[in-house]
Amino acid sequence: MASSSNGQINRVFISPLKMCRVCLSEKRQVFIDVFGPNEPFLAQFVREYYKVEIKRDDIHRGKSTKLCQRCVENIDVWRGHVDQANACQTVVNYLAEKVC
């Protein structure tokens, strides 16, 4: 970004549409559109994990609908932890029934 002598920002050199919506990275070359055909639940996962609401028409409002690979991988790891926790709760419930 360029700034004037009084510290105000005059212009932005990077389009917000070319950045990761979550981390603002523009250096990671692989971006995944949360509304892409292979990602039917990604927007929901972004909302649940990052607490960021991405809407289909955001792109028309100057907002990116893309995530970098690292941010998508973070969601995948989180989902793995949630799945593991759910599986463990099934075991806990089963064992509790056997004890009582």
Query: What's the average pLDDT block by block, 10 residues per block, for the chain (100 residues)?
Result: 60 80 85 94 97 97 95 96 97 91
pLDDT of residue 58: 97
Q: Where are the domains of the chain?
A: 17-99
Domain 17-99 fold is His-Me finger endonuclease fold (3.40.1800)
pLDDT of residue 6: 64
Query: Which pair of tokens denotes residue 15?
Result: 């389009």
- CA nearest 12: which of 20, 21, 3? 3
| Cα gap 21→16, rounded to integer Å | 8
